[in-house]
Structure 1
Amino acid sequence: MKAIQVEAFGGPEVLTLKDVEIGEPASDQVLIKNHTIGVNFLDLYQRQGQKMGSFPLPLPMVPGVEGAGVVAAVGDGVE
C-alpha cells in the first residue's frame, strides 16, 4: 500500500510517499482497512519531534491518529 512516512523530524519536507507492506495481524491484533484518516495538530507536533507525554516517537512513522474503516482481518486470539 502507499503511505506518507516521516523518516526524520522536521518540516513538511520530511514527508515522503512510500510503498509499505502490511503483514497479517498477530494473534491479539486487528487489521483495519482505512477509508479516511484524519491528520491534526498532534501529527504536526510528532513530525517536528515534539514528544507528547510518554509516547515514544519511533521512526519511520506514518502520521494520522484518527481513522475510519472496516475490519479486514483478525488474529487467532481476537474474540
Structure 2
Amino acid sequence: MKAIQITRTGGPEVLELTDLPLPTPGPGQVRLKVEAVGLNYADILTVAGEYLARTRLPLVPGMEFAGRVDAVGEGVE
C-alpha cells in the first residue's frame, strides 16, 4: 500500500511516499481502505516532534481520515 511516512522529525521535507505491506486485521480489529486523509495541526506538531506525546518513528501521520471497512478480523461482526 502507498503511505506517507516519516522516519525522522522535521518540516515537510521529512514526508516520504513509501510502499508498506498491507496490514492484516487481528482479532477484534478492522482494516479500512482509506479514501481521504487530512493533516491537522496535531499532525504537523507530531511530524515536527513537538506534539504533547513523544513521536515514535517510523510514523504514518494522519489523525483525520475517512474510508470503508475492507477486511475484518476474527470475532468482528
Q: TM-score normalised to the size of structure 1?
A: 0.88
| Aligned equivalents of 1:77, 1:8: Cα separation in 2 | 37
1:66 aligns with 2:64: yes
SS at match of 1:45: helix
Moved over 4 A (4+): none
Unpaired runs of 5+ residues, structure 2, are none
- Aligned-pair distance for 1:45? 0.2
Please, what is the CA RMSD of the aligned residues?
1.3
Report percent identity of matched pairs.
47
Match of 1:40 in 2: 40
* One-letter amino acid matched to 2:2: K
* One-letter amino acid matched to 1:78: V
* One-letter amino acid matched to 1:34: V
Match of 1:15 in 2: 15
SS at match of 1:44: helix
| Aligned equivalents of 1:2, 1:50: Cα separation in 2 | 26
Aligned residues: 77
* One-letter amino acid matched to 1:31: R
Unpaired runs of 5+ residues, structure 1, are none
- Aligned-pair distance for 1:23? 2.3
* One-letter amino acid matched to 2:76: V
